[in-house]
Amino acid sequence: MLEIGCGQGGFAVRLAQRYRYVGLEPDSLSYHVAKERLAAASAKGEVRNGYLSALLPDERFDIVCAFEVIEHIEDDKKALDEWVSRLHPGGYLVISTPAFQHRFGPADDMVGHFRRYDPPVLARLLGEAGLKNVVVQQFGGPLGYMLEFGRNQLGERWVAGKAAASKADRTSGSGRLLQPRSRLQGCITEYGTLPFRLLQRALPNHGPGLVVRAQTPV
């Protein structure tokens, strides 16, 4: 499995305990955090500091995951082609991204997003990249809407104070922004949001995010 990170590395821990796993993390601070967590978990996987150039030319995977990444890339079509090229025949691409361009707001600007995606637009891009069996689903409601509102309020003040920061700089730090700073804060967040995550299961295909699965031809 290949995960393409964009300011985050912690997701590697859980998957890498069971599968061979390669995570790519371009942000150096997040990379070191991810590396330490993998070592502490005695995981089978590894994380590398860099982009696709950190892979060997012949490395291919059954699954490529890119969570909250594609909206940070200006040339999204090129990125999709590169990710698909790293899949075995019949392999899966799994991505998540913010939903609906009309919801683009200060929070998106704060973390360096180029865009959000309407489901038909994203499905078309995946088809043009040669993928089939495309499934696009919303997620994150109802808590996601409340969190998005709060982030937009913070984003208005943050962007006003740091308008000179480049998209690359904002992207680089996006994975650490508004994240728990300690294990205790992480546990509070995990268990405090549990009721909302259960409610989300009862309300499928609602929320401000999209998760997508698509397959390469066999």
CA dist., res. 153 & res. 107, Å (int): 8
37 contacts 12 by C-beta, under 8 angstroms: yes
Which pLDDT score is estimated for 92? 98
Which residues face 47 on adjacent strands? 23
CA dist., res. 122 & res. 127, Å (int): 9
Token pair of 58, please? 């012949």
Which pLDDT score is estimated for 15? 65
Which pLDDT score is estimated for 62? 96
Give the phi and the psi of residue 184 in degrees, each rounded to 5: -65, -45
The domain ranges of the chain are 60-215
Which pLDDT score is estimated for 11? 53
Distance between terminal CA atoms of the chain? 18
Residue 5: which of 57, 47, 63, 55 has the closest Cα? 47
Peptide bond into 142 cis (omega under 30): yes
pLDDT tens per residue, range 7-62: 444 455 566 677 888 989 988 888 888 888 788 877 788 889 999 999 999 999 99
Q: Which residues of the chain have pLDDT under 70?
A: 1-16, 159-164
Number of residues that this document lists for the chain: 218
Which residues face 65 on adjacent strands? 3, 94
Q: What is the DSSP string of 66-104?
A: EES-GGG-S-HHHHHHHHHTTEEEEEEEEEEEEB-GGG-
- In this structure, the dihedral spanned by the alpha carbons of residues 128, 64, 196 and 153, taken in order and rounded to 10 degrees, is -70
